[in-house]
Each structure stands twice: as structure tokens, then as C-alpha cells.
Structure 1
């Protein structure tokens, strides 16, 4: 039954994506089959083998150590504010982002990360049948973040046609930045975070290849990555520390606003209809939860969490998931994989703003296809959850 639901789920995702395709005649099916098979193999390796368990364990241990080091800095500045044995969400989950951002800055400065991103992207371009720029951008988005990644391809932003620009933006929305992975791991199981990171990378290529197919000529397929302006080591350090702090503050502000707003809307709906806004959305998203592999009796509850992620953000949804103690382990795993991406309404503004800051005309183009961007990124999350559900 599980496999039949998964096959049905993949077909539904493909049909929904195919229905809004820009150019169905240009869809290349061979790379799609290869990437779907790769997704399944990678999900099996990560969730069902000792090697995958070892890799995820090592990744989780690495971030656990990094977060403990981050905690030293947080405790030095804020020690005594929290109650004994209790740490506020901002201090324990968000402020460590500052330290992770600092490490990313050091790896960028020493040219280690740019090399990894560039050559991994070149290898991926052989598999996905897309351009080198698109493949580079997908890997870079998963490390640098959905707005920062566009700075590295600033030279080419203004010259890109709408189709290629869409793919770059879709990659940015379908992944998550490495600086906040540690925060996710404190709210959901690290193995689901790692699995989602890998599956979303290929899922982004799969959905973009159906929704937005095009051919890139050899003359157009040139990868020019902008080198960062030369800074001293301590200038760079200060910049990345402040960038990390800005991310932490921004996420905290959004959480305050969205959690309060959802509570207000839930109160209004409960008073008028006798059912909360999230429960209502749960019924709408229940069919998607079911095709992802969630049992029907839990699909409305799971659907409400999925909807919360889309209308608010993944942090709010992950906090909400922690409150649903009645869900089975398999459902929690499937929903967790779905939640690990930037596919929400606020990301449309973030990405359009980032591109507009570099090239105003192209920023307006991104704003126009914003809803289709969210649609595609959501399909990526659904597809990743379906594949992961096969092995949970």
C-alpha cells in the first residue's frame, strides 16, 4: 500500500507541475528519470543503511559540537537571563546562527567553500541536463542562503532570460541555508534535515525541468562567479558575525509577528465557525499529506502543519509540529522533510528584493512570477516528502 500511495503521489506531483509547464514540448524525460532514481537511492542510503546512519550521525554530531561552542558565547553575554534549566528559544535556537555564519565566512574567505560549490555544481550539471550556472546556484543556495547567493552571480543576473532566472530563484526557495541548519536540528530530528537537504537539491531540478523547461546553448552555458571584494580577515569576520545576527533577529521578529497573527486568526475563526484557521487549512492540505504517505486519520493534522509552513514559515511550523504529540513517528518524519525549505509567501518578497537590489528590472520579473515560484518550490517539498516516506 505504501508503494502504491508513493507512486500515486509522484504522478499527482508530475501532473500538477506538467499542467502549468511553460513549454511541454521541451521537457526532457531522461534526466527526470535519472534524478528520480537518484532521489530514491539517496533516501534509501540515508534512512535505511548503516553508512547513511553513520553519515547523518557524524553530521548531527558536528552541529551538536558547533552549537555547544556557540552556547559558550551566548552564555557569556546572556548568562543569568534564562531561568535555571530553561533557555529561551531566541538564546538557544536562534543566536547560534551567529556562530555558524562566522564559520561560513571563514570557509568563504579561505576559498574552500567557493571551490566545493563550483565543482559540485559542475558535476551536477552532467546529471540534471541543465546549465552550469543553474547547477552552481542550487549548491550555492544550500550553503549561502536564498538572498546572499545572488550576489555571487551578480555579473550574469542582468543578462539572464526569464526562464533561467526562474530556475535560479526556484533553487533558492527550495533549499535552506547552512547557517540555520543547526537551528532546525534543535527542533526536528537531524536525519530528516539532512535527508531533505539532499532530496530538495535534486527535487528542485526535477520540478524546474517540468515546470520551466528550456535548452541552454554552449555559448550561453558559461559560469562566471563574482569574487568577493577583498577584505582583511577581521573585516570579513565582523561582516559575517553581523550578518548572522541580522538573520537571528529577522527570524525572531517574524516568529513574534506570525505566531501572534495566527493565534489571532485562530481565535476569530474559532469564535465564528467553531474551528480554527489552521484546522480549516488542514482539510485543504489533507489530500497532499495523504499522497506524501501520511495515514488518512492523521492527514488533517499534518495538513494544518504544512499549511502553517506556507502561510508563515518553516520555523513556526516546526514549533507547531512539536505540539502535535499524537502523530506517529512515520508521519512526523514525512512532515519534517516537507518543512525543510524556504517555500512560503514571505520568501517571494525576500528573493524578489534580493534580485531587485542587484538589478531592478530583473527584480520586477521575479515579482511577476512569484506565485509560480512558490508553487514549484512547494511541489519540490511534496516530492521530497513522498520519496522519504518510502523508507520511513
Structure 2
């Protein structure tokens, strides 16, 4: 009974609501007209009276905005000129106060100035320059083959003369050059899937570029100083990340080396690269480098662009530059993209393959010897190379830094009673530094497949088939670089450090000690303490004889 009463009450309430709603057609038309008139479009006049005070406040800003729009070009040039003047003034003041610290500002200014001059000349006189050089260009194109073989012949003659003269003073350098040839032959016969289809132009051009850069950097003092200065500048730039780590994590940040030291540098540099991309500088630079590679090596645009990108960004980031073309590249180009990723250095991940590094020290001993490393250091360097491949380069470099610290300490014998090498000779140290400098480790296989596979899922099976071979080739990229470095590198001992050691017995490399003492005895008289110390040393324990005058 109660339920029925409630139902009747609900029905009566609904009828009351219906009676109050606009049921007639006239009422509905009025409601529709009101809704239609209420829908205001953007810009419609709301017919709201203006606030005179707000109008007075806003009016000057409105006029300023209109004036800026009308004179945008002039204002932009004025702002640019003022900014440049301010930057130059700030740079000069900073250079006067601390030249070394402010050198980065000068480098940035010079680079921007060069780019601006290049853009100005190209924009004004590009057509005139091209017309003037057109006859020479046409003549060069007509006689390309003849000029090419003449140039190749001259380069080979000069190369042979240089090697003959250089090796006559240091015959042991031939080991590194022979090792380079052996490695190339091995990669051609055993590493290549189709040895009869190898294009030799990239191989010879690659060797020429490697050889030329190494000769300039390691043998020409001016060029070496320039690159050394740039390297110190880069270290200073990356050192700002360390300052940030100290600020965020405190002075004991180094206790968590990878998390608070390595990763902040990667994030910091990646952010800088992102800013350069936003400004358009990276696109321009990568395009120019890839163009140069296409011109010399004859590689395709996609693999050249990816290889150029690997100079600045990491293993999986550089393929993003050519992501739209990944599904269309040939297997050979895909292989080259992988090799350039493995053959460069970038941030790494920790592996879990402990034990393989020591085992590989036996397998890689012949390889380290052919790179030019002295035999006494070959086993230890082979162990470092195995650690780098089966763990990663960070762990290998950490062990190398320990060996360098032992050498600088001056109290460790070259070998202990068990035959373990406690430090490396200067040349061995330099060569293995190059050999460890790449991303080619077992842990990177997953990173490479994960990164490229996500960009082009339809070719994942093809990638899996060639990734191990690409890793193998990437390992030999750094080994070939190390061989070239072994041929050109000339150790320069730190004589001041050596003279500071309390003892020279088995704690100093004999060739470094001989070089320092030979120089000392040539400029000092026989009564000088360092002169007498050099002459009193037992040289019969070494392969050198130091002629000394009697006191």
C-alpha cells in the first residue's frame, strides 16, 4: 500500500514539472531564439562599458606594441648589436681577470664569428665565386681519373719516404704498422661475409684520414698544442657537471662514482647537445661532416649522417637522425650504422660477465703485441681489453687509472715477486687508452638491438643476425686506432716527477730515465746533484749506457 502511494506521488510531481516547462510551440521557439542569441562568437562585442582607468593604463603598452611590430627589423638589429657589444665587453673583462677560465668564451665567440662571416660571404658572393671557379672545376671533372692517380701516386711516394725515415730511428714502430695491416687482412678474410665484394675506397680513405690526423696531432707540435688546448677546454666544460654534483650531492659524491659522477656528466652533455639542436648548430655541423664523409669515403647519405652524429651523441641516439630511412636502408648500410655505434664512446651500462676479462688476457695478448705494446705489458693490457669487451670501458679505465697512479707514486716496482705488472710503460699506456675508447662491449648488444629495434620493428630479425658481427667490427675500430697511435706516439717523460722519486731501481721506465738523464747531463755541469745522481745510477741493469764526465 505504501509503495503504491509513493508511485502515485512521483507521477503527480512529474506532471507538475511538465506543466511548468515550455510545452507549447511558441514557448519552445522563444527558448530557441534566446539560446541562439546567447551564443557569442570570438570577437563579438559584449557591449560592456569600458573601464576608463584600465584603458588609461593599457593604452601606452598598446601603442608600444604597435610601434614594435612596425619597426621589428630595426629593433631586432639594435638589440643584437647591444647584446654583441655587451658580450664582447664581458668577454674582454673575463679574459683580463682569468684568461684560462674565460678561454671558452673566446672560443665560442670565434666560432660564431666564423660562421657569420661564412654565411655573409656565401649570401653575397656565392654565385660570383662559383662562376669564377667554374672553368677550373670543369677541367678537374674532365681529367678526374688522371688527376686522381697522380695524387694517389704522389701520396704513396711521400708515405713511403716518411715511413722509411721515421722507422730508421725507431724500428720497433714497424710492429704497430704491421699490426694494422694484419688486422685489416684478418677483417677482410675472416670478418667479411662477402670478401670478394668489399669496396676498397672507404678502407684506403679511412686509413689515409687516420694516418694524416695522427701525423698532425702526434708529430706536429703546434697542432698537438691546439688539440691539447681544445681537450683541456672540453675537460673544463665537462668539469662544470662535477661542480653541480658537489652542489647537489655534497663533497662525498665520488663515493657513488657512476651514479653521482658519470651519469650527471652524461645528462649535462646531453642537455647541451639538445640546446645546440634547438639552435640549429648541431644540424649544420652534422650535415657538413656527413658531406665530407660522402665526398671522401664514398659512403651513402644515411650511414654518413649516422656516423657523423656518433661524434656528438650516443649509440642509440644517432640513428634517430635517420629514423625515417631505417626501413629502406640496405643490410650493408644497417651493418655500418651498427658498427659506427659500437666503434664510438658514450655512456655505458654495467655488465654482469665477471671472470671473462682475465680469460681473454691470454687470447688478446697477440693482439696487444701487434698494436705496438711492449711485451712485458702485453698480458696486462690484454686483460684490460678483455675487461672492456665483457664488462665495459668504465671498469677497464678505472683499472688503467690505478696502474697510472702506481706509476706516479714512484714506490712500486715494475713487477712484483709473482710477476704481476704494477704499472705500464708510457707507450703501452697511450696505446691501450686508444684501444679501450669505444662502446663495443657485450652489454651494448642489448642496447643496440633495443634502440634500433624500437625505431624499426619490422627489421628486428635482420638486426639480430648481424649485431654480433657488428660488435666484432666495432672492437677492431678502436684496435686499428690504437695501432696508428702506436706508430706515431713518441713518449715524453716527466723528468721533474722522475727526479722526485726516492729510488729509480725498478720503479721508473728505463727509456724515460735515460731520456731525462741524457738531457740533464747535456745542460748541467758535473757538480750538479741531478747530474751526479744520473751518473751514479747502475745502468748495467738497463739496455742503455749513459756517458758521464768525471767530477
- Give the TM-score normalised by structure 1: 0.72
Partner in structure 1 of residue 372 of structure 2: 293
Alignment partner, residue 124 of structure 1 = 293
The match for 1:5 among 163, 166, 175 is: 175
Q: Provide the secondary structure at the position in 1 that maps to 2:488.
A: coil
- The worse-fitting range, judged by mean Cα deviation, of 132-141 and 91-100 is 91-100
For 1:364, the equivalent position in structure 2 comes to 461
What secondary structure does 2:448 align onto?
Answer: helix
Contact residue 279 and residue 300 of structure 1 kept, 8 A:
no
Deviation at 1:321, TM superposition (A): 1.3
> For residue 347 of structure 1, what is the aligned residue in structure 2?
444
Matching residue of 2:257: 89
Q: Are positions 1:306 and 2:306 aligned together?
A: no
Q: How far has the Cα of 1:88 moved from its partner?
A: 4.5
Give, in whole Å, the separation in 2 of the partners of 1:356 and 1:95.
Answer: 27
Q: Deviations over 1:308-331 (max 9, x none)?
A: 010011111111212234110110
Cα offset, 1:391, TM superposition: 1.4
Greater shift, 53-62 or 98-107, is seen at 53-62
**Whole-angstrom distance in 1 between the partners of 2:480 and 2:471:** 14
Distance in structure 1 (CA, Å) of the matches to 2:438 and 2:197: 27
Q: Is the 8 A contact 1:352 1:364 kept in 2?
A: no
CA distance in 1, matches of 2:203, 2:246: 48
Deviation digits for residues 112-138 of structure 1, max 9, x if unmatched?
001100121011111112112211111
Structure 1 Cα separation of the partners of residues 286 and 440 of structure 2? 22
Write out per-residue CA displacement over residues 20-67 of structure 1, whole angstroms, 9 at most, x where no aligned residue.
Answer: 323333323344223212211101211222233223222222223223
Unaligned runs of 5+ in 1: 181-250, 266-276
Taking the aligned partners of 1:164 and 1:67, their CA distance within structure 2 comes to 33
1:48 aligns with 2:219: yes
Contact (CA 8 Å) 1:348, 1:367: kept in 2 or not?
A: no
Q: Is 1:138 aligned to residue 313 of structure 2?
A: no
Distance, in Å, in 2 between the alignment partners of 1:34 and 1:153 is 24
Give runs of aligned pairs for residues 30-69 of structure 1, distance below 5 A: 30-69=201-240
Structure 1 residues 92 and 354, CA gap change in structure 2 (3 angstroms):
closer
Q: Distance in 2 between matches of 1:165 and 1:34?
A: 21
1:378 aligns with 2:475: yes
Structure 1 residues 367 and 105: CA distance shift in structure 2, 3 A = same
Q: Quote the offset at 1:297 in angstroms.
A: 1.6
Instruction: Look up the match of 1:21.
Output: 192
Q: What is the rounded CA distance, in whole Å, between the counterparts of 1:161 and 1:33 in structure 2?
A: 22
Contact 2:174 2:487 survives alignment (8 Å): no
Q: Per chain length, whose mean CA-contact separation is higher, i.e. which structure has more relative contact order (CA < 8 Å, sep 6+)?
A: 1
Offset, 1:172: 1.1
SS at match of 2:290: helix
Q: Tell me the distance in 2 between the aligned counterparts of 1:349 and 1:337.
A: 24
Kept in 2, the 8 Å contact 1:66–1:100? The answer is: no
SS in 2 for 1:152: helix
Q: Is the 8 A contact 1:74 1:96 kept in 2?
A: no
Kept in 2: contact 1:343–1:378 (CA 8 A): yes
Aligned residues: 299
Query: SS of the residue aligned with 2:373?
Result: coil
Task: Report 1:229-268 matches (<5 A).
Answer: 251=348, 254-255=349-350, 258=352, 262=354, 265=355
Structure 1 residues 81 and 328: CA distance shift in structure 2, 3 A: closer
1:50-88 CA distance string (max 9 Å, x none): 233223222222223223322332222112545xxx665
Note the alpha carbon deviations across 1:317-361, whole angstroms, 9 max, x for none. Answer: 111212234110110110000111111111111111111111112
Distance across 2 between alignment mates of 1:378 and 1:102: 28
Q: CA deviation at 1:107?
A: 0.3
1:3–1:81 distance in 2 versus 1, CA, 3 Å: closer
Flag structure 2 segments of 5+ consecutive residues without an equivalent: 1-170, 407-422, 490-551
1:107 to 268, 276, 283: 276
Whole-Å Cα distance in 2 between the matches of residues 377 and 338 of structure 1?
11
Aligned partner of residue 390 in structure 1, secondary structure: helix
TM-score normalised by structure 2 residue count:
0.52
C-alpha separation between the residues in 1 aligned to 2:205 and 2:452?
31
The C-alpha deviation readout for 1:160-211, integer Å capped at 9, x for no partner, is 221111111111111124xx5xxxxxxxxxxxxxxxxxxxxxxxxxxxxxxx
Runs of 4+ aligned residues of structure 1 deviating over 6 Å after TM superposition are none
Whole-Å separation in 2 of the counterparts to 1:28 and 1:154: 25
Kept in 2, the 8 Å contact 1:121–1:136? The answer is yes
Between 1:300-309 and 1:139-148, the stretch displaced more is 139-148
Q: CA deviation at 1:108?
A: 0.8
**Residue 322 of structure 1: aligned partner:** 401
CA contact (8 A) 2:338 2:467 kept: no
